[in-house]
Every structure is written in C-alpha cells, then in structure tokens.
Amino acid sequence: MFILLDIDGVMVTEPAWKKVEIAADGFMVFNEKSAKNLAEILISSDASVVLTTTHRINYPLDKWLQIFAARGITIKSISKLNNIGSVALMQSRAVEIQDWVNLQDKKTEYLIIDDDASLNTLPEHIKARCVITKSTAGFDDEAKQKALQLIGVNR
C-alpha cells in the first residue's frame, strides 16, 4: 500500500495570507490534527509514503523521514513521485500522479491525499482512490474517515 501525499493543504493548513510557522528543523509546522490522522492511517495500513508535494525537491529522503518523525509521524518507507529536481520541469499534479500509477503493477494499492483541484481531471479509476482535502482544514477527521473506507479499514 502506498499513500501519495501532498503537504500544502493536507499537512500544512495555514491560509495563503497568513505566515506559516517554521519548526526548529527549518520546515513548516504541520496541522496537529492532520499529523495525528496521518499517523493513524499509516499504522492502520502499514503504507509507504510517496511524496507528491512540490516541496519534495527541496530535501533528500532521509531528511523527509526526520521531518515527519519530528512531527510524530513514523514512516516505514518513503519515496518521491518522480525524480524531477526543479519546479520548472514539473507537470500538473494530476499528470504526474497518472504517470506514477501507469508505471505500477495493476494490483498496486494506493491512496492519494491531496488538495489539488487538478486531480478532478484524473481518470475515474484513479480519482476513486483520492481523498481531496480542504486546504485550510487539511487531513481532518472527515478526510481520515474517507481514507479509512478507501483502504478498507473500518473504525
């Protein structure tokens, strides 16, 4: 199981007009509810994380593990959606996710957690695996419940 994870609008929920708080490690502070809910989903699903966020290009994977751990989230394995190293080379999130899905085995289980409206353009079989969050609410309890349903964990 893979969780394709965005950061802004999922884990970081400050409105665009408000300055985002930066933690001691130099990265943005996560919404506490979002962090707690993601930690629960990761425990329930034993999933690996695939970073879809634009921020993925800013840090190597070992630093990402530290960022999540400092926010109370244990990740067994982490990777990036692709190897693109520049924002200028990135395509829309929907295109990048569809490319990732197309490279996977048909039996690969995944869940997408993101606030990007472009995901509404994905083919139905991929969109059906999405939890689209509200950018100022993030991965709240409603989004967590939908995620649990999609991965087949009943709480």
Q: What is the pLDDT of residue 155?
A: 47
- For the chain, the first-to-last Cα distance in angstroms comes to 18
Range of the domain at 67: 2-151
pLDDT, one tens digit for every residue, the chain (155 residues): 999 999 999 999 998 889 999 999 999 999 999 999 999 999 999 999 999 999 999 999 999 999 999 999 999 999 999 999 899 999 999 999 999 999 999 999 999 999 999 999 999 999 999 999 999 999 999 999 999 999 987 54
The count of domains in the chain is 1
E strand or H helix at 125, and its extent? helix 124-127
pLDDT for res 69 = 97
Q: What is the pLDDT of residue 17?
A: 86
| Alpha-carbon span 48 to 42, nearest angstrom | 8
| Residue 118 per-residue DSSP state | G
Q: What CATH number should be reported for the domain holding residue 138?
A: 3.40.50.1000
Residues 6+ apart with CB under 8 A from 86: 57
For residue 37, what is the enclosing H or E element?
helix 32-45
What whole-number distance in Å separates Cα of residue 108 and Cα of residue 16? 35
